[in-house]
Structure 1
């Protein structure tokens, strides 16, 4: 096994003390730029890698961040968050430890306790609807950044999509296609989640702007249990009798704005089982822009959320808080703008 290169090895080659080499690698202002460049060149040639454990003992930081995936892993949303966050973390010398809680608040709380015992520097989190663990983190002064959704009663750092704007813009597009009977379809589990609330608020605002009465805003619950893995038509029909009756009766909606793309895929199954064509009988639009929407038949019109950018920005803010570039007392709340993509699932009335 190859021997690990140490600061002493670099010091012997460049003719400096171990302390001077350490300062040069940290680009300390007391060391000249020429010396820093020389030390770094030798370090690269020898294959030197910093001893992060030793560094953590010196500066009190582990250079490890916890990424809490409170959402499900059934689509590529969390994968895109990871793809946005990890390269930035590595670039800054940090490691991301991934913890999939999958909508289980007790597991989420357990992860937070265990990671604190491991002295992680901070948390990125897609929460499981329970604010208490994050209120405790805030009380203890532990940096954390929520992504995708936040708690409306907790002042904290977060990075999300501008879901109000996305909900408004997609509804406006459906209205411009001539639709007036547009229903908002939501997953009961996500009914009170900030991202769904804001998408629904945007939807209602667009209807109001077009002069439609308050009663025109109509919501339909759709029961989707991702953990059961039950996506066969009969199962979905049995679990969603209210949706089935609404789409089978007179005056059914001519367009459905579904709160996310994965739920929209199950809506497709039920609509087709009912003998309704998309978009001939009913237009369907989703939200988030995950890969699944592109391979549905027909391809799903959607509001594309900048998912990787959300992951990267959340990681950036967290590291800045950990390193003191941003003061912990300053609350950072970022809303990134979405884009609308109309595909084959929506058509003029």
Structure 2
């Protein structure tokens, strides 16, 4: 088994510096961090007391997602686990339930097992307290990079919001409502709404204020009576597909048909959207690809001392049957 002395020798630094880098308990330059991590990876060194010793000599990575029951995050998580399995890593999972206040505690719990690195989907990286702590190599998934955490894997949510809105406008719709989970709980939803605003402005149309509801419950009991009466939209964009399915149910309870009376579109491209009749019109996000990409990027950073970088994965507009021309 490799020793810390061998790591320090290969990295060309002192024993104390190598220890600080690998135990994340002191200052070191970015260049030295990369050298020490690369040397440790090449030699197969693991710090004493690390998670590798707790889980049968297998290193682990920590993953934070908003909800383990959402098919979007389940798809990303499955890809992360598959990629880490090939690399010989276990995966520790925590969820925030779309609650910014729970993120810091969730990340602290992951850090107790001294993971090789973290893959985090937070509510908003600009305000997340989870990102204030000193963290091991970290990749943001679905969040745009920050100055402190430049490694991120994303899809262009603002561009996707603009594209689905432009599509609806092209189908003749002018009064388009954006229905979303709370923006404070998801910067992805907020960016999609900004894309909606972009498209409405580009076409000289007056946007409607977004209707926001909690993310975690109530989709099956959604009440759109007031919104339909006061705003009279001909089309509704939901910030995710699960919410879009809730919208379709709510419209039916109001005695309205989709797309005969109101068109509906969503985001994510979950499988159940293809199973309903008619199939859901949506922006298909590459959730599985993004998860695998985030896992590979984290491994490259943690094991090979690769530089942090931002990777953007393409989305696709999937035209279903829930939008009609008017």
How many residues are matched? Answer: 277
Q: Verify: 1:217 aligned to 2:207, yes or no.
A: yes
* Residue of 183, 188, 191 corresponding to 1:190: 183
Aligned position for 1:116:
111
User: Relative to structure 1, is the Cα distance of residues 81 and 296 closer, same or farther in structure 2, using a 3 angstrom cutoff?
Assistant: same
Shift in CA distance, 322/83, structure 1 to aligned 2, threshold 3 Å: same
**Offset, 1:175:** 1.2
Deviates more, 1:112-121 or 1:75-84: 112-121
Q: 1:308 aligns with which of 267, 270, 288?
A: 288
Change in Cα spacing, 1:73 to 1:64, as seen in structure 2 (3 Å) is: closer
Match of 1:93 in 2: 88
Matches within 5 A, 1:8-23: none
Q: CA deviation at 1:128?
A: 4.2
Q: Determine the C-alpha separation between the residues in 1 that align with 2:268 and 2:232.
A: 25
Aligned equivalents of 2:220 and 2:163: distance in 1?
32
Distance 1:153-1:281 versus aligned 2 partners, 3 A rule: farther
Structure 2 counterpart SS, 1:91: helix
Distance 1:332 1:72 in 2: 26
Shift of 1:255: 0.8
Aligned equivalent of 2:309: 332
* TM score, norm. by length of structure 1: 0.71
Structure 1 position 256 matched with structure 2 position 236: yes
1:198 Cα offset (Å) = 1.7
Q: Distance in 2 between matches of 1:225 and 1:103?
A: 7
Aligned to 2:247: 267
Q: Which residue of 2 aligns with 1:134?
A: 131
Q: CA deviation at 1:86?
A: 1.6
Alignment of 1:246 with 2:227, yes or no, is yes
Q: Which residue of 1 aligns with 2:22?
A: none
2:176 matches 1:149: no
How far 1:174 moved relative to its partner?
0.8
- What is the CA–CA distance in structure 1 between the aligned matches of 2:201 and 2:219, rounded to whole Å? 35
Please identify the structure whose Cα radius of gyration is greater: 1
Query: Secondary structure of the residue that 2:133 maps to in structure 1?
Result: helix
Over aligned residue pairs, what C-alpha RMSD do you find? Answer: 2.7
Cα deviation digits, residues 184-224 of structure 1 (max 9, x gap): 1112x2356321222112222222222x14xx111331424
Look up the match of 1:82: 77
| 2:63 counterpart of 1:67 | yes
SS of 1:253's equivalent in the other structure is coil
Q: Provide closer, same or farther for how the CA distance between residues 154 and 57 of structure 1 changes in structure 2, counting only shifts above 3 A.
A: closer
> How many Å separate the matches in 2 of 1:185 and 1:274?
17
On the 8 A contact 1:256/1:282 being kept in 2, the answer is yes
Tell me: CA distance 1:151–1:185, structure 2 relative to 1, closer, same or farther (3 Å).
Answer: farther
| 3-state SS, counterpart of residue 219 of structure 1 | coil
With over 3 angstroms needed to count, the CA separation of the structure-2 counterparts of 1:232 and 1:76, relative to structure 1, is closer
Stretches of 4+ aligned residues off by more than 6 angstroms = 58-61
Matched ranges for 1:173-184 at <5 A: 173-184=167-178
Gaps of 5+ in 1: 1-17, 20-53, 238-242
**Structure 2 unaligned residues grouped into runs of 5+:** 3-43, 53-58
